Amino acid sequence: MHELEPYLKVGKIRTAHGIHGAFKIELFSDDVARLAYLQNARLVNPHNPQDFIEVKLSLQGRKPETLILSALGIETKEAIMAYQNWYVEVERANAKLLAPGEYFVCDLINCCVVDKTHGEIGIVKDVLQNTSQDVLVISQKGQPDILLPKVDEFILQIDLAAGKIYTNLPLGLFELYRPENS
């Protein structure tokens, strides 16, 4: 059984904005509009996930890839700087609704990838999102990572409950990353 995280990281506090406790957040989501309306969140220490505070947020401003937010009760530049580089997380229940075939990246991480021809080929360790389509980074101990575009032609099924992604690798891709197996 693959456990889904109850909270989703939506960004990271980068720096204070002004002197009254507002802050800039580096966004992890491609849906800036949805994040602009966040109200309830928590700030989480990146070194100790058990160290967090619940906050109420309000939008102070917006830039192309950054939101400027403030948290109720954090009213000075010095106070917010104590949370610099902390994650901003939201409860999964308050996260963006996904269309069929869409997944949160954190849900794909650590899924076992099983190919139709090659069997179990590794574990998803990352998802690259700066390309024309998402690319799964599949790792297997002692082997080079396999980069697999997340397109319907190659992804047969994603079963989050089982923590498995079933694939049909394009001809030659596996051998490209595993030349000793060819």
pLDDT tens figures, 12-70: 999 999 888 899 998 887 677 767 777 899 999 999 999 999 999 988 888 766 788 89
pTM: 0.77
Indicate whether 40 and 17 sit together in one domain: yes
Q: What is the pLDDT of residue 120?
A: 95
Indicate whether 177 and 153 sit together in one domain: yes
Q: Are 9 and 56 in contact (CB under 8 A)?
A: no
Q: What is the pLDDT of residue 180?
A: 67
Instruction: Provide the edge-to-edge strand list for the sheet that holds 164-167.
Output: 146-149, 135-139, 119-128, 112-115, 164-167, 155-159
Indicate whether 55 and 131 sit together in one domain: no
With a pLDDT cut of 90, the percent of the chain lying above it is 54
Work out the pLDDT band at 149, boundaries 50, 70, 90: very high
Question: How high is the mean pLDDT of the chain?
Answer: 88
Residue 166 is assigned to a structural domain of this protein: yes
